[in-house]
Copies of this chain bind each other. A is one copy, B any other.
Amino acid sequence: MLPHPLDLIARSSFETDSRILLVVLDGVGDLPIDGETPLSAAATPNLDELARESSLGLSTVVAAGITPGSGPGHLSLFGYDSLHYDVGRGVLSALGIGLDLGPNQVAARGNFATVGNDGTITDRRAGRISTALNERLIEGLKEEIRDVDGATVSLYTEADYRFVLVLEGDDFGGSVGETDPGRVGDSPIASVSMSDDPADSRTADVLNRFAAQAAEVLVGLQSEIPDDPVNTVLLRGIGKKPDLPSMKDVFRLRPGSVASYPMYRGVSRLVGMDCLPMSLEGTGERTADKMEAYRNHAKEHDFIYFHVKKTDSCGEDGDFEGKKTQIDLFDEIVPELLAWEPDVVLITGDHSTPVALKAHSWHPLPVMIWSRYGRPDGRRFTEEACRGGSLGTLRHLDLMPLAMANALKLRKYGA
């Protein structure tokens, strides 16, 4: 039995020629500063025209007061209840650095950390070391540790004090506890199996042995590297890639994603989207590359997820002008996005990232749905205008059902 709303979608959806465009302006929701938000301050003639013919609303991503990470934020948007489908930090970090994960791989997020002479943790992030030092430590660890008890261990720098560990081998389970006690003053703890399955015990054993070996290697490296505070690792959010039902099966869509950052490509693949072919060169927003992929390949799909990252990055930097400018820039590509002639256009974000908070937040997001069969609210797309729009207050899990309904892709429920 699928969780709501996938249950209803699975029993109601059918294939049609109609097309849905989902635009995610990452972290777009904001709070007013001197009466304006980046959305209200931006110059968006194209978006305004579309918004006037759209239904508006304010949408809560996961639950009231809950600040979602990008993983839960996107899963909710795609119609997957993130309270049901728990995708661990390890898996999200692995997807985020562009790894694929198979069924015989277990991913963990690692922290480089510092313990004192008595073995208790003095800094869970080792003074937030640089990515350069992280890379040197990973190099050192990889030279000394490759296999642990029949499992291959692969290590990757994520950024700053964060790394990713991927354990690979036959008969290793993903249901084990963290080695991070979560606070300073405690000692690192042993990973334990969370089940009766011996495969989970094997994973816990490997991770505990790895942690001990890694600490030894890191202490050795301290004598080579000046001012290196790292003498241990903490492993968190350990797990396998969950088996999510594919959007192809549940929604009867041919879904494609257009995103330049690996994390978002990863999350879209997790629900069965195809990443539209794009050069793998380059980093950052890469709007020109995304638009080229969209122009050439959107036509092979009837659902497109189009991701815009920089709105979030500017929010995280507390950069109001920058966030406004990113919205201005998005407005310029709106006509080209509409050239695909979608039947439904759904625009929102995966969470709010208010400039005032410099971080993700819990605030409901402005949402607009354009379709032939909507109730047009005749307003701009801003936080204030979305309040009291005809979509009312809703949840992100409601958005895909609404998009599917507006595309006339859902059958009647009951006689």
Contacts and interface: CB of A to CB of B under 8 A. Distances in A.
Given A32-B376, A373-B356, A62 B413 contact: yes
A82 B389 contact: no
Interface string A373-407: 11111000001100111111111011111111110
B387 A373 contact: no
B373 A354 contact: yes
A332 to B, nearest CB: 28
A116 interface: no
A268 to B, nearest CB: 16
Interface residues of A, number: 69
Q: Binding site of A, secondary structure by majority: helix, strand, loop or mixed? A: loop
A4 interface: yes
Copy total for this chain: 2
A31 interface: yes
Interface string A216-238: 00000000000000000000010
Given A357-B373, A414-B87, A4 B387 contact: no
A63 interface: yes
A390 B391 CA distance: 13
Contact of A68 (B83, B237, B412): B412
B389 A64 contact: no
Contacts of A357: 373
B64 A401 contact: yes
A131 to B, nearest CB: 18
Given A58-B392, A357-B373, A364-B392, A67 B398 contact: no
A65 B398 contact: yes
Contact of A410 (B65, B374, B387, B410): B65
A68 B413 contact: yes
Given A64-B398, A69-B415, A363-B375, 11 more contacts: A31-B374, A32-B376, A64-B399, A65-B398, A65-B405, A66-B410, A68-B412, A89-B414, A359-B412, A361-B405, A375-B384
